[in-house]
Amino acid sequence: MKLNEYPAAIAQVQRQILTLDQQLIGLQETVSVLAMEVEKRVIADGSLTNDTKRKARRLELQQSDPDFYRASIDLKEAQAKRETLGIELQLLLNQFSVLKLEERRAIAMMEMHISTAA
């Protein structure tokens, strides 16, 4: 990639991250709403007399709810993709910095040759 192409590539990854961050917020809200529904069902169940039974029932309800399961999986996948894009962004930024330094070095070398030739 050429030096002048890096800003557009960096901006593209930043836009992807922004879009994914917005999706993550939606997924987190969905999981929270579904978790509250499960919690309501656990609280309403009078037969759950201790914390261990409530935790077990909560886990059972979460695992048996296809919407909760799907939302949880989608959230984890989106978080992993966000991390990958973050790594990609940092790589682009680092590559851009290295290319800029190499260009500065080349300019300095040319200036040095010009000053020694004169």
- Convert the pLDDT of each residue in 58-88 to its tens digit: 999 999 999 999 999 999 999 999 999 999 9
Alpha-carbon distance of 14 to 21, in angstroms, equals 10
DSSP conformational letter for 50: S
Prediction pTM value: 0.79
Q: Which of 75, 44, 77, 38 is nearest to 59 (CA)?
A: 38
Is pLDDT of 118 > 80? Answer: no
Residue 111 has pLDDT above 70, yes or no: yes
CB contact at 8 A, 44 and 17: no
Q: Are 38 and 68 in contact (CB under 8 A)?
A: yes
Instruction: Compute the mean pLDDT over every residue in the chain, rounded to the nearest whole number.
Output: 94
State percent of the chain over pLDDT 90. Answer: 91
Q: What is the mean pLDDT of residues 89-100?
A: 97
Tally of structural domains, the chain: 1
Nearest to 85 by CA among 4, 2, 32, 12: 12
**pLDDT reading at 114 higher than 70:** yes
Q: Is the pLDDT of residue 107 over 80?
A: yes
Find the domain containing 112 and state its range: 3-117
